[in-house]
Amino acid sequence: MSGCKGPITTFIVEPFVPHDEEFYLNIVSERLGNSISFSECGGIEIEDNWDKVLHYYNAHLSYFMLNTLYFVLYISC
């Protein structure tokens, strides 16, 4: 966060849940579409496994489809 100034006012705190696997999921909404990145090699070392990340770009992925994708991934974990 170099160059950022000012107080941090928002935190996301979640309880720890014991788990054996970690996944990486990133959804970026851009002006012309949405990009989705996913990997079964998640965790804090995702940059070390960046070659195993699958990237998908869709220019027509709707808000409804993103919510459906999130819900399906959420209930499957």
Quick: pLDDT tens for 4-53: 788 878 888 888 888 888 888 888 887 778 888 999 887 778 888 889 89
pLDDT band per the 50, 70, 90 thresholds, residue 71: low
What is the residue-wise DSSP string for 13-75?
-------S---EEEEEEETTEEEEEEESS-STTGGGGGGG-EEEEETT--HHHHHHHHHHHHH
Supply the pLDDT for residue 1: 53
Supply the pLDDT for residue 69: 72
